[in-house]
Structure formats: C-alpha cells, structure tokens
Amino acid sequence: MEYMAAKSLPTLIQGGMGVGVSNWRLANAVAKCGQMGVVSGTAIDAVVARRLQLGDPDGSQRRALAHFPWPEMAQRVLDRFFISGGKSPEKKHRAISMANLRMKSAAIELLIVSNFIEVFLAREGHDGWVGINFLEKIQLPNMPSFLGAMLAGVDFVLMGAGIPLQIPGILDGLARWDDVQMRVSVDENTEKHTFVQKFDPKEYCPVDPPELKRPKFLAIISSDILAKTFVRRASGYTDGFVVENWTAGGHNAPPRRVDRKAPPPEVYSEKDDADLEKMREIGRPFWLAGGFSTPEKVQEAIDEGAAGVQLGTIFAYSEESGITSEIKADVVRKYFDGTLEVKTDFRASPTGFPFKVITTKTSVTHPDIAKKRKRICDLGYLRQMYVVKGEKVGYRCASEPIDQYVNKGGKVEATEGRHCLCNGLMATIGLAQLRENGEEPPVITSGDDFTFLDRMTDGKSAHYSAVDVVEYLMSGVKVAPVPIPEPVDV
Ligand SMILES: Cc1cc2nc3c(=O)[nH]c(=O)nc-3n(C[C@H](O)[C@H](O)[C@H](O)COP(=O)(O)O)c2cc1C
C-alpha cells in the first residue's frame, strides 16, 4: 500500500484516548502507516508505575528507559516501581503522589520519565508523526509531562477539554529550556488572587541541556469562535485545530447556551456545529472529529477544506488499543445484538463536562456496581483546586467520599451521579487497583458511531488492526499533500 510522503501533514489523526487507550503500541502502528499516532499523556505516570509493578513483561518500559537521557533519574523510577516477575496479584499497586501546585521532585521525575517512555516507544522504528494528548482540565502534571514528551522528540501536542491558551507559549519556553509558569484555575477565589505553578526544566537536567524541538500545537475545540480566540489570544502559535463535535468519544464540550441566564441545556442542536466556512477563513490546518469513520466521511472532510479527520472509537476497538479484550468483546457483542447504548452523561465526570459512557454489567456506571463501590480518591487527576484561606489552596473531587468533599466546602449536589474516572479508566486498560472487595470496576467511553463495525468485521466479533483501520479509511480517498505550515505573525 502506498502512503503519502510522511512529512506532509497527515490525513488521519488517531486521536488521543486516555487513560492508556491510545497507548504507544497503537500510536506506533498508526504512525508507521504515515498517519499521526497520538499517545495519551493523561495519568501516564500512574500507568507506567503500574506497568513496572506488573514486571514489565514485554521489556518495553525498560527498553525505553535505557534511552532516557539522564540515567540516574531513570534508575530512581525503576528502583521505586519495578518488580521483577511482577507484584503478587493479592497486593495493591503502590500509590504515587497526587499532583499539586508544588510537587515533590520524585513526582515530577516520574512525570518526565513516563511521558518520555510513551513517546519514545510510539516513535520507535519509523519517522512518522507522533503526538501526545493532554486535557486542559488536568493542569498540574502538564509542564513536566511536556518536557518528558519533548525529550523523546514528540512532534505534536494536542489538547482540549478546556481552553488551553497558555500552552503554546509554555511549549516555546520549554524548547528554550526557560523557566515556565502556568496560571491555574482555583474555585472560590473571591479575592481574585493569581495562582501559578512554576517549573524550571533546568532543575531536572543534570547535564548540558540537549536541544529540544518545539512540538506543533493543535487545539481541540468545538467551535470556530474558539479557533479565533486561539489565533488572537494564545500565548504562542497554535499550529492548527481539531474540530470535535458532540458525537465524539470521551469528554465533549457542553451544549451552547441559548440563554445566558438559564442553566446550560442538556441537548445538542445545530448551534453546536462549528462553522467550517469560518474555519477555512482562519487559514490554519484543521481536522474534523466525531463520527468520521468511513472513507466517504474522510473524503467529505477533505472536500470541506479540512486537512483530514481525527478518529477515536474505531481505533479504540482495534487490536493494539489498551482496552482489555474482554471489554472490547463485550461492547462489540452489544453492538451486534442491538443492545449497545452510548449515552452522553452530563453527571458522570467530576470535571462537569459531558462524558460519553457505555454501561455494561461490570462497569461502574451500572447502578448496582456504582452502589457497591466505596468512594475513594487516590489518583486525584480530576481534583479541582479551591481557596481554603487567603492564598492557601485545597484540592477536592466531586467523586471523592461525599463527607470529605462536603468538609472541604463542596456542595453535596455536586457529588450526585459522579464516578471515579481515574480508577475506572485505569481498570478499563487492565490496570485496576485492588480493594478489599475486589478490583475497581472499569468505566467505558466511546463515540456514538459504531457503524464502522458493519464494514470492518464479519458481523460477529472484531479482530482488526490499526493498519486495517488506516487502509479502510484511506481506500479510494483523494487527498493532495498538505504542506506543514510555518508560524506567521497575526
Ligand atoms: C476511549 C476514548 C477515550 C478518549 N479520550 C480522550 C482524551 O483523553 N483526550 C481527548 O482529547 N480526546 C479523547 N477522546 C476523543 C478522541 O480523541 C476523538 O477525538 C474522538 O473519539 C473522535 O470521535 P469518534 O470516536 O467518533 O471517532 C477519546 C475517545 C475515546 C473513544
């Protein structure tokens, strides 16, 4: 099969899927085909720590670590987490410290190293495009994570779930080894203090700083208005956009308010569609996302002026993705017997963003499982900061134990219907934490559109690879190479 020259922009972006669904294996397979493979940087520190505690059976983590530029830091991570032969199944995974405003150096080192590992492995053996995905909503681990990914030579950083206007400038700064800082969002900040997290990359670099490439930055947005905001107000250059609609998997943008004074509606309408004419006018490359999993839809996007499309669900159910084979088989079976329901859940995510869920008998969104699960917050990626007093901040998550949340000044209503996505998503990729009454249950997210299964499979089960996906989606698609844009003054 012939693919476009690797270094014009890719037509397909295999979207970032956290936690660990779009892992290095998937991204590597996609990038090898000349398209863009994107690993998820979300909670990758916990993922790597657990892979090492399971004994790193395929040796991949240690292989990547052997290439980490600062061997002593790599060794410290190995010493803390690697268990030769794997931990005993009756033992819990060791906790890692939760991210906060002033993180301990061990936590920062784990972030740098784990992001390096994931990108290094995704880039191994080819020179195709590799990106890394983060969520703006999870701010605190981001700066050290970018450094780790950049040390491994990541080509793109893709970010959504919020409006990451500060990120392009931070990437510029890190590429120069400058001190960087990020304003963080803190609730109940009635006195309007500015809270910043600082990060000096040189503090972690024991040798002469190696040269770092500034990755291109793609903002994941749902509207042309936001695209304009990035062009005008971002702290550095935004190289392009992924325009994601509300049928996409994972978190979605909330529906557009019709009435500013009324609460946000829980239905989407054509008001939520981005204006592609306006996107074209902006003149930067963009990819469309959400239900584009046929060659006809890929062609349609290109004909609309997009550089291509970003896809999630079709790759999430491919052989290489991190979702356990049991969950993949369960969901695919549901699709074929007509019982699959993909629901936009406006409560599930502690972030407050709508989140797509599929409920199975074993997943945490099933009412019986949810009732049985004892609330606990021990990964803490979705904790929100709030002002305790003056400039002192606290951390709380609407899915933590209710009494704790309320003691921290949170409202009990805010806890209703919330699920622990951190523990749930770790379970979905086979890295569940062990509790007294068994393992943490998984949480399953996917996009609305599964019709690709009718064309990709025998109608009974799904066994297809990432390469099969690329071949299927590109079959018959006519695409002119899209040159790599260079930053221009605006
Ligand atoms: C399992 C799953 C997890 C996802 N996680 C993320 C994520 O962590 N960050 C993100 O920006 N998008 C996430 N997405 C969205 C995808 O990157 C992609 O944009 C979207 O799924 C495209 O729609 P489609 O599923 O219809 O192809 C996720 C999607 C899926 C299916």
Distance 312 CA to ligand 1 centre (A): 5
Indicate the pTM of the whole model.
Answer: 0.96
In this structure, which amino acid lies at residue 414? Answer: A
Q: What is the pLDDT of residue 361?
A: 96
Q: What is the pLDDT of residue 272?
A: 86
pLDDT tops 90 at residue 257:
no
Q: What residues are paired with 356 via a beta bridge?
A: 344
Distance 207 CA to ligand 1 centre (A): 38
The finding on whether 311 has its CB within 6 A of some atom of ligand 1 is: yes
The finding on whether 248 has its CB within 6 A of some atom of ligand 1 is: yes
Percent of the chain's residues with pLDDT above 70: 97
CB-side exposure of 218: number of CA atoms within 13 Å? 34
Residues 463-487: tens digit of each pLDDT: 999 999 999 999 999 988 888 877 7
Nearest CA to ligand 1 atom 10: 16
Q: Best substitution site from 313, 365, 448, 470 to test ligand 1's pocket, by max atoms within 8 Å of Cβ?
A: 313
Residues 327-345: tens digit of each pLDDT: 999 999 999 999 999 999 9
Across 120-132, average pLDDT: 97
pLDDT tops 50 at residue 143:
yes
- Going by C-alpha positions, the residue among 426, 440, 438, 443 that lies closest to residue 376 is 440
- Going by C-alpha positions, the residue among 119, 129, 149, 133 that lies closest to residue 12 is 129
Is the CB of residue 304 less than 8 Å from the CB of residue 279? no
Four-residue CA torsion sign, 171, 174, 179, 184: positive
Helix (H) or strand (E) holding 123: helix 105-123
pLDDT tops 60 at residue 3:
no
How would residue 204 be classed by pLDDT, with cut points 50, 70 and 90? very high
Q: What is the pLDDT of residue 266?
A: 79
How would residue 5 be classed by pLDDT, with cut points 50, 70 and 90? very low
Nearest CA to ligand 1 atom 18: 312
**Could you identify the atom of ligand 1 that is nearest to the CA of residue 313?**
25
Cis bond upstream, residue 48 (ω within 30): no
Distance 304 CA to ligand 1 centre (A): 22
Nearest CA to ligand 1 atom 6: 17
The finding on whether 21 has its CB within 6 A of some atom of ligand 1 is: yes
- Going by C-alpha positions, the residue among 488, 483, 487 that lies closest to residue 10 is 483
Within the chain, how many helices (H) and strands (E) appear? 17, 17
Across 453-472, average pLDDT: 94
Distance 421 CA to ligand 1 centre (A): 14
Percent of the chain's residues with pLDDT above 90: 89
pLDDT tops 90 at residue 181:
yes
Using the structure block, give the residue that is written with the tokens 């600062």.
70
Q: What is the pLDDT of residue 489?
A: 53
Structure tokens at 336: 């074929």
Nearest-5° angle of CA 272, CA 278, CA 281? 160
What's the DSSP call for residue 92? P
Residues 6+ apart with CB under 8 A from 306: 243, 276, 279, 285, 286, 287, 288
Distance 94 CA to ligand 1 centre (A): 28
Residue 173 burial (10 A CB sphere; 0-12, 13-18, 19+) = buried
- Going by C-alpha positions, the residue among 368, 402, 443 that lies closest to residue 19 is 443
- Rounded to the nearest integer, the mean pLDDT of the chain is 94
- Alpha-carbon distance of 273 to 225, in angstroms, equals 11
Q: What are the two backbone dihedrals, phi and then psi, of residue 170, each rounded to the nearest 5 degrees?
A: -65, -40
Query: Which 3 state secondary structure label does DSSP give 425?
Result: helix
The finding on whether 318 has its CB within 6 A of some atom of ligand 1 is: no
Residues 378-396: tens digit of each pLDDT: 999 999 999 998 889 999 9
Distance 177 CA to ligand 1 centre (A): 31
The finding on whether 148 has its CB within 6 A of some atom of ligand 1 is: no
The finding on whether 222 has its CB within 6 A of some atom of ligand 1 is: no
> How is domain 12-255+272-324+457-474 classified at the CATH fold level?
TIM Barrel (3.20.20)
pLDDT tops 90 at residue 194:
yes
Structure tokens at 375: 């609330």
How far, CA to CA in Å, does 420 sit from each of 43, 197, 399, 400, 405? 13, 25, 6, 8, 13
Across 87-99, average pLDDT: 95
Distance 107 CA to ligand 1 centre (A): 27
The finding on whether 302 has its CB within 6 A of some atom of ligand 1 is: no
- Alpha-carbon distance of 133 to 157, in angstroms, equals 6
Distance 86 CA to ligand 1 centre (A): 31
Q: What is the pLDDT of residue 488?
A: 62
pLDDT tops 90 at residue 30:
yes
Other CB atoms within 10 A of residue 155 CB: 23
Across 276-286, average pLDDT: 96
The finding on whether 220 has its CB within 6 A of some atom of ligand 1 is: yes
Q: What is the pLDDT of residue 281?
A: 96
What's the DSSP call for residue 460? S
| Three-state secondary structure string covering 358-380 | ECCCCCCCCHHHHHHCCCCCCCC
- Alpha-carbon distance of 427 to 46, in angstroms, equals 12
Residues 416-446: tens digit of each pLDDT: 999 999 999 999 999 999 999 999 999 999 9
Across 232-260, average pLDDT: 90
pLDDT tops 70 at residue 452:
yes
pLDDT tops 80 at residue 287:
yes
- Alpha-carbon distance of 257 to 243, in angstroms, equals 19
Is the CB of residue 429 less than 8 Å from the CB of residue 322? yes
Is the CB of residue 362 less than 8 Å from the CB of residue 369? yes
Is the CB of residue 116 less than 8 Å from the CB of residue 61? no
Distance 72 CA to ligand 1 centre (A): 35
Strands (E), 331-471: 342-345, 355-358, 384-389, 392-396, 434-435, 438-439
Is the CB of residue 331 less than 8 Å from the CB of residue 447? no
Pairing of strands 308-311, 12-14: parallel
Q: What is the pLDDT of residue 178?
A: 97
Residues 305-323: tens digit of each pLDDT: 999 999 999 999 999 999 9
Q: What is the pLDDT of residue 235?
A: 95
Q: What is the pLDDT of residue 2?
A: 40
Q: At what angle do helices 167-175 and 142-151 cross, to 10 degrees?
A: 50
Structure tokens at 393: 């901040």
pLDDT tops 60 at residue 90:
yes
How far, CA to CA in Å, does 389 sit from each of 167, 193, 386, 392, 407? 28, 11, 9, 5, 14
The finding on whether 160 has its CB within 6 A of some atom of ligand 1 is: yes
The finding on whether 449 has its CB within 6 A of some atom of ligand 1 is: yes
